[in-house]
Structure 1
Amino acid sequence: MKNLKKFLKISGIVLILLVIVVLIYANSLKPTYDGKISIKNLSQEVAVHFDEFGVPHINANNQEDAYVALGYLHAQERLWQMELIRRIAPGRLSEIFGKDLLKTDVFFKGLGIEEAASTTIATLDKSSKAYILTQKYLDGINQFIEEGSTPIEFTLVGVKKEKYTIKDVYNVFGYMAFSFAVAHKTDPLLTEIKEKLGDAYLNELMNSYNENLTIIPTEINPIKANLSVAVNDIMKTLPVSTFIGSNSWVIGAEKTKNGKVIFANDPHIGFSQPSVWYQNHIKTPDFEIYGFNIALMPFPLLGHNKKLAYGLTMLANDDLNFYTEENNPKNDNEYKTPIGFQKYKLRTKTIKIKDNPDTTFVVKVSKHGPIMNGLVEHIQDEKPIAMYWLYTQLENKTLDVAYGMSHSKSLSEFKNAAEKIHAPGLNVMYSDADNNIAWFASAKLYQLREGLSSKMYLNGASGEDEILEILPFEENPQAINPSQHFVFSANNQPDSVRGKLYPGYYQPEDRAKRIVSLLKDKNDFTKQDVAKMLFDVTSSTTPEISKYLLKNINKSNLSIAEKTAFSILEKWDGNHLKNAVAPTIYNRFLYEFLAATYQDELGESFELFLNSQLQDQVLVSQINHENSVWWDDITTKNIKETRSIIIEESFKNAISFLENQLGKNVESWKWERVISVEHEHPIGKAGGMLRKLFNVGPFQTIGGNEVINNQIFKLDSTGIYKITAGPSTRRVIDFSDIENSLSILPTGQSGNLFSKHYKDQAEKYLNGAFIKMALNAEEIKKMKNVLILVPEK
């Protein structure tokens, strides 16, 4: 008994000591929010006041010092995120995660982002303010690497910290640009449909692009006086967020209660932990910006101050084309051109793989870009397929764009910065204190010969499918102070260019139609009204789509449960609230309908089509096309299915599935039972205790695909909807109360597991609440946590 007591006493002491050690270690990894830190390369002291959610308000006597501080602070919260995102474009994820990421590394390493970065950096003006401040920002990051604590992820994975260079910044630009692109998912699919199924199948899809549109109109008025499949699979493996879509609208002074402009923006990006944006506020005697920065981006893509506000959505124009090349029969290292055979450029690439030998491969590059055969294993074509991407083909001024937008003092200056965007294409939204509002479709738009579709593989050998012209920016769709007194964007079709709708991979009209319906007739908007709009979960189109489908069902053939479900859909107003039953029925019905319509023809490509922009765009047209070639199930012999047969069987199959999944009581099939959201950390994906430690969630939520509060999930056979993306921040900026504008992040400001700001915004985000973006100097000075950065002697 004495020995047992002694053992328990010793065990208790050991356990207490272990807990103390763990607590000391954890405490050593926390970000520093108060006190003093000595920093090299500062000319003067910098004061940083942190608000209650960890947002730093950086007050410096010059911009150079401010950006050193920003780099240091950004790194102490997000160094692991920086490490991952800088590794994507140069193909360095396998160094951390091993051979499971090799396909991803091979793909990205072959795209030419590194080479484009090197070319751009070689020509940068080293005396420009943008370059100098970028180097200061990097200097701040590297000082934290030298002197700050090592994030726990580095220790768990076994990665050594490395200093950052401007090459890392441009590699992030490249990754961001590619994640916005859509053509790499859609063009190969459309070409496959044409080659395997024929023109009849393809034409039905292509002809629906100009139907059911809410178009962003072009209108330019005077400026007001200024008084002051395979790639899809690869993208799934990425350990950081991908850029997807967004909403934004700007309400003119004529339509607001207080007579000043109100700005709203919520970029839709893949959910992850940490969330993508790092919030910060910089103020110097000659400059101020409250910004949202991605990792390794010194200048914010979203920002505002007392004079202006700006944000963005994805334009979704077609900036990526595939060309089929023709090899020299006598020499595979040459390809055909109109002036004879030319040699491919050969790039030898080496990838380091954790716990495995290095691997080396060669990328062939034609004048159109890298040959994708071999980079993407699903490409089985005999002919080489080159990827022509405007991002790597044209001059890159992304750093100047981000600097110019954040440092603009007027609409004219801002427009000059937006004009430099080449790829990815962006809807750039603007407002200012002088009541100017504007939207610019910012991209290098181009023209091909008449009748040529950029959505199909182009002929690289003929010379007839080349880009004929890059259009001048003034011809891009845009609106300045339009007569409707608002501008908007929801990744939908922009207005005509040279008399025709410009091709792209635009989202269907759902969100745009809802935004316009809420904006057009109201003329007394307040900040609270706009905040409520950002959390809106009513679809403007799904009730109509439901009615189109239900028209093809004979109610006399339905069971009691089927009739109940029919009635619920028939009366649905489109809301996606937790207790709604209709969205549960609709989404299963939609899946069954799409599978019955397309899966027999598309086979393995059905999953890619199912969740593509292409499917979303053609859905209404397909339902209303009575004699579509897609209705017939090619796997059934001697039977020709019709629209009504396909739709009625799909409905019955959906109800049968839901009865098995959720029970016989239709009224209990609430949306909250099948939809959830979890913000995954790359290490939390391993599951178990790591999931509980690093991930945020899972949570029940409201919303769904293509409502304003866009909670994006993939349709599949499971009937469970796990949200993978949505609003990466919500912002409302009211120029009648600029010092009390609103924002929210999905989880928190910090990516540091031991920070109190790791997930302290999560509940507010789920409930549609906001936090204040403080600009008032006196209020900021009263904040409790103050960190002083002093020049190192």
Structure 2
Amino acid sequence: MNLFKKLLKIVLLLLVVLSVGVWLFTKTLHPTYKGELKLTAISNQVTVYYDEVGVPHINAQNQQDAYTALGYVHAQDRLWQMELIRRIAAGRLAEVFGKDLVRTDKFFSGLGIEEAAEKTIRELDKNSEAYKLTAAYLNGINQFIEEGPKPLEFYLVGLDKEKYTIKDLYNVFGYMAFSFAIAHKTDPLLTEIKEKLGEAYFNELNNSTSENLTKIKNFKNRELEASFAKAINVVMDKLPISPFIGSNSWVIAPPKTKNGKVIFANDPHIAFSQPSVWYQSHIKTPDYEMYGFNLALIPFPLLGHNRDYAYGLTMFENDDVDFYYEKDNPENALEYKTPNGYEKYKLIEKRIKIKGEKDTVYKVKISKHGPIINDLIDFVNDERPIAMQWIYTKFKNEMLRVSYEMSHATSLQDFKKAATKIHAPGLNVMYGDAKGNVAWFAAAKLYKYRDSLNTKIILNGASGKDEIQEYLPFKENPQAENPSWNYVYSANNQPDSIAGMLYPGYYLPEDRAKRIESLLEAKNNFSKNDVAKMIYDVTSPTAPDIIKNLLKSIDENELTASEKRAMHILQNWGGYYGKKEVAPVIYTRLWYAFVKNTFKDEMGAAFEQFVNTPLEEKAVASQAKRKESVWWDNIKTTAVETKKDIVTQSFKETINFLQKQLGENVENWYWKRVTTVEYEHAIGKAGGLLRTFFNVGPFETHGGDQVINNQIHKIDSTGYYKIHAGPSTRRVIDFSDIENSIGILPTGQSGNVFSSYYKDQAQKYLDGEFVKMSLNEAAIKKSSNKLVFVPKE
């Protein structure tokens, strides 16, 4: 017994020692928010005040010092995020996560992003301020790499720290540009529908993209496979870093505000992740000040404001990717047909390093249109070579200069000049200033084909007839400056055109745009609080119309008591996605059943690539209005189904499903019972204790898909809706009270799990609350967290 007691004491002592050791080790991984550190390549002391949510307010005597400090503090909070995002475009994820990421690496490394970056870097003006400040920022990051602690994630995956270069920065721009693209999912699917089902099926879907539009006003029969679209989904689903999706923004001119000053609002929609996408920073020097939101590895904020102006972004959603069927030479597979005879493909050899395994090597064939996608994706079943033409790789990338000039503009005209340099991705650039100016610019390199060409299908690469004929000057881009209606806005919806044409794109449904317009038109005395309430709005103006168009096809006499009750709830719904609303549950499930019963019989395997796309969302609104449609008939039955048959079947399936899922009591089918949001860390996705430690959530949430507070989810057979994307930040800047402008992040400022700022904003974000984005120097200096950088001798 004594021996047992002694052994027990030894074991307990070892556990205590181990626990203390682990605790002491983790203490070394904490970010440094106070004290003094030495930095090379700074000429004067730099003081960083961390506010109550961990935003660094950087005070320096010059911008060179400020950006060096920014690099250091950004890295200590977000180095893991920086590491992942720089690896995507370079095809280096498999080095970290193993063979499961080889397909993703193969695809991204073959897109030409790195080659475009190398070309751009060779042509950079190394004497420009943009380049010098970027070098200072990278120097700050690399000093943290040398002297700061390695993040916990690096230990867990066995990764060594590696210094950063300007090429890594351009790879981030490349990934950002690609993640906006939606053509990869839409064009191949529409091509298959046209080729295998015929013109009637194709035309109904294709025409739905030009119906039910709220346009931004300017001032001035074989089963489908969808292997291509499926392959893209597989590649994108593996990404450990959030893709960009959508956004809202509106800027209200003085005549429509209570205090006679501009009010600016912006909430970019991006796939949720942990850490949050944006890193906030506030830089102040004798000649410069900017409160900005930075992407990982980007020194100049893409969203920002100061006392003089504010700016932000949404996705333009223009079509900047086109696909071509190339025709190989039957005598030589390394040549392809052109109007001038056969030309040789350019060949590039790529190597992918795989954790724990041998490298894999592959070759990319490149035609004049771009890389052959068949070589990049393993299971594209089409035997015809498909080339991807992407505007991003066709022109010089000036996004570094653009982001510098937008964040250093001194007037609206300066800012506009910066916007004209954007070629891809297409962005709606929003602007408002203290002088009362408001503006919106759809910034992208726009182009025209011959009039009869439909760019939503894969084009003929061999004919020479499907080539770009003309690039449009920026003055013909959709835009508005100080319009007579006293506001500008964008919600990824179809813009009207100064050029007399609707520029093709993959614009999102009109829901959010229609709601924003209706709210902005309703009053002329907006306050900051009004706009803060509006940015959290969860009412859909289009859902009640879709319901009305569907339910009138149902004979109420054919319904059970529960079905009648559910029908009445839908009929009386105003489109509000509250947590305790029942109608959103019925509507969302009815949406899925209606889409399934309308399209799945013809689409077959391609159906899963059709749902949850802008094409599907637009098609539902149009299909709900149609009395006649080639899609109504279920080709797998002998009968010829009508709209009444499809809608009635869908409604009855919906109620039956929900009774089994949520119980017989219709009144208890709350929206909060089927929706959750969880902010997933790349390592937390593994589940178990890692999920609990790294992920933030799950939580109940407020909102739904395509309302202003956009809680984006997939609609599928499960009946549960996991929110995977939404506002990556909410910002409201009121120039009548500029020092008290407000913003919020979904989780927190830091990506370091040991930081007190890792998830401190999560509940406030979910509740529609905000924190102050302070510019007041006296208030900032009251912070108890003060980090001082001094020059290293």
What is the TM-score with the length of structure 2 in the denominator? 0.98
Question: Does 1:266 pair with 2:271?
Answer: no
User: One-letter code of the match for 2:677?
Assistant: V
* Equivalent in the alignment of 1:86: 86
Q: Counterparts of 1:351 and 1:373 in 2: how far apart (Å)? A: 17
Counterparts of residues 755-774 of structure 1 (less than 5 Å):
755-774=755-774
Q: Counterparts of 2:79 and 2:293 in 1: how far apart (Å)? A: 16
Q: Counterparts of 2:209 and 2:502 in 1: how far apart (Å)? A: 10
1:265-290, Cα deviation, whole Å (9 max, x unpaired): 00000000001000000011111110
Counterparts of residues 639-654 of structure 1 (less than 5 Å):
639-654=639-654
Q: Counterparts of 1:233 and 1:740 in 2: how far apart (Å)? A: 44
* Equivalent in the alignment of 1:733: 733
> How far 1:13 sits from its partner (Å)?
2.3
* Equivalent in the alignment of 2:554: 553
* Equivalent in the alignment of 2:142: 142
Question: Does 1:30 pair with 2:23?
Answer: no
* Equivalent in the alignment of 2:255: 254
SS of the residue aligned with 2:436? Answer: coil
SS of the residue aligned with 2:359? Answer: strand
Counterparts of residues 125-136 of structure 1 (less than 5 Å):
125-136=125-136
> How far 1:158 sits from its partner (Å)?
0.4
Please tell me whether the aligned partners of residues 476 and 497 of structure 2 are also in contact (alpha carbons under 8 angstroms). Answer: no
> How far 1:706 sits from its partner (Å)?
0.1
Counterparts of residues 223-302 of structure 1 (less than 5 Å):
229-302=230-303
> How far 1:205 sits from its partner (Å)?
1.1
Q: Out of 200-209 and 583-592, give the one that drifted further.
A: 200-209
Superposed CA RMSD in Å reads 0.9
* Equivalent in the alignment of 1:690: 690
> How far 1:315 sits from its partner (Å)?
0.3
User: One-letter code of the match for 1:555?
Assistant: E
Counterparts of residues 376-775 of structure 1 (less than 5 Å):
376-636=377-637, 638-775=638-775
SS of the residue aligned with 1:248? Answer: strand
> How far 1:497 sits from its partner (Å)?
4.4
Percent of matched pairs sharing the same residue: 64
* Equivalent in the alignment of 2:224: none
Question: Does 1:104 pair with 2:98?
Answer: no
Q: Counterparts of 1:189 and 1:233 in 2: how far apart (Å)? A: 15
1:588-628, Cα deviation, whole Å (9 max, x unpaired): 11100000000011111111111110011121211111110
User: One-letter code of the match for 1:101?
Assistant: L
> How far 1:6 sits from its partner (Å)?
2.9
SS of the residue aligned with 1:353? Answer: coil
1:672-714, Cα deviation, whole Å (9 max, x unpaired): 0000000000100110000000000000111110000000000
Please tell me whether the aligned partners of residues 88 and 105 of structure 2 are also in contact (alpha carbons under 8 angstroms). Answer: yes
* Equivalent in the alignment of 2:368: 367
Q: Counterparts of 2:684 and 2:579 in 1: how far apart (Å)? A: 27
SS of the residue aligned with 1:369? Answer: coil
User: One-letter code of the match for 1:60?
Assistant: A
> How far 1:5 sits from its partner (Å)?
3.5
Please tell me whether the aligned partners of residues 363 and 375 of structure 2 are also in contact (alpha carbons under 8 angstroms). Answer: no
Q: Counterparts of 2:329 and 2:741 in 1: how far apart (Å)? A: 62
SS of the residue aligned with 2:84? Answer: helix
Please tell me whether the aligned partners of residues 218 and 498 of structure 2 are also in contact (alpha carbons under 8 angstroms). Answer: no
Counterparts of residues 155-174 of structure 1 (less than 5 Å):
155-174=155-174
> How far 1:206 sits from its partner (Å)?
1.4
* Equivalent in the alignment of 2:348: 347
SS of the residue aligned with 1:439? Answer: strand
* Equivalent in the alignment of 1:207: 207
Q: Counterparts of 2:26 and 2:721 in 1: how far apart (Å)? A: 35
> How far 1:721 sits from its partner (Å)?
0.2
User: One-letter code of the match for 1:240?
Assistant: I
User: One-letter code of the match for 2:324?
Assistant: Y
Please tell me whether the aligned partners of residues 365 and 375 of structure 2 are also in contact (alpha carbons under 8 angstroms). Answer: no
> How far 1:671 sits from its partner (Å)?
0.3
Q: Counterparts of 2:434 and 2:401 in 1: how far apart (Å)? A: 24
Q: Counterparts of 1:724 and 1:388 in 2: how far apart (Å)? A: 29
Q: Counterparts of 2:208 and 2:56 in 1: how far apart (Å)? A: 49
Please tell me whether the aligned partners of residues 336 and 343 of structure 2 are also in contact (alpha carbons under 8 angstroms). Answer: yes
SS of the residue aligned with 2:706? Answer: coil
User: One-letter code of the match for 2:357?
Assistant: N
1:73-106, Cα deviation, whole Å (9 max, x unpaired): 0000000000000000011000111110111011
1:30-72, Cα deviation, whole Å (9 max, x unpaired): 0000000001111111000000110000001111111100000
1:220-239, Cα deviation, whole Å (9 max, x unpaired): 4xxxxxxxx22122111100
- Where does structure 1 differ by over 4 angstroms across 4 or more consecutive aligned residues? none
SS of the residue aligned with 2:146? Answer: helix
User: Unpaired segments of 5 or more residues in structure 2?
Assistant: 221-229
User: One-letter code of the match for 2:106?
Assistant: V
> How far 1:3 sits from its partner (Å)?
3.3
Q: Counterparts of 2:771 and 2:341 in 1: how far apart (Å)? A: 63
User: One-letter code of the match for 2:721?
Assistant: Y
Q: Counterparts of 1:709 and 1:248 in 2: how far apart (Å)? A: 12
What is the TM-score with the length of structure 1 in the denominator? 0.98
Q: Counterparts of 2:717 and 2:263 in 1: how far apart (Å)? A: 42
User: One-letter code of the match for 1:165?
Assistant: T
* Equivalent in the alignment of 1:182: 182
* Equivalent in the alignment of 1:223: none
* Equivalent in the alignment of 1:40: 40
SS of the residue aligned with 1:83? Answer: helix
SS of the residue aligned with 1:454? Answer: coil
> How far 1:454 sits from its partner (Å)?
1.2
> How far 1:536 sits from its partner (Å)?
0.6
> How far 1:8 sits from its partner (Å)?
3.4
* Equivalent in the alignment of 2:223: none
Q: Counterparts of 1:105 and 1:336 in 2: how far apart (Å)? A: 29
User: One-letter code of the match for 1:613?
Assistant: P
Q: Counterparts of 1:516 and 1:5 in 2: how far apart (Å)? A: 75
> How far 1:390 sits from its partner (Å)?
0.1
1:474-510, Cα deviation, whole Å (9 max, x unpaired): 1111000011101010000001243221110000100
Q: Counterparts of 1:539 and 1:478 in 2: how far apart (Å)? A: 26
1:257-313, Cα deviation, whole Å (9 max, x unpaired): 000000000000000000100000001111111000010001100000000000000
User: One-letter code of the match for 1:657?
Assistant: F
Please tell me whether the aligned partners of residues 633 and 640 of structure 2 are also in contact (alpha carbons under 8 angstroms). Answer: yes
User: Unpaired segments of 5 or more residues in structure 1?
Assistant: 221-228
1:288-342, Cα deviation, whole Å (9 max, x unpaired): 1100001000110000000000000000000000011111111111111111111
Q: Counterparts of 2:337 and 2:759 in 1: how far apart (Å)? A: 56
> How far 1:648 sits from its partner (Å)?
0.3
SS of the residue aligned with 1:677? Answer: strand
SS of the residue aligned with 1:247? Answer: strand
Q: Out of 711-720 and 11-20, give the one that drifted further.
A: 11-20
> How far 1:21 sits from its partner (Å)?
1.1
SS of the residue aligned with 1:159? Answer: coil
> How far 1:783 sits from its partner (Å)?
1.3
User: One-letter code of the match for 2:411?
Assistant: S
* Equivalent in the alignment of 1:57: 57
> How far 1:136 sits from its partner (Å)?
0.7
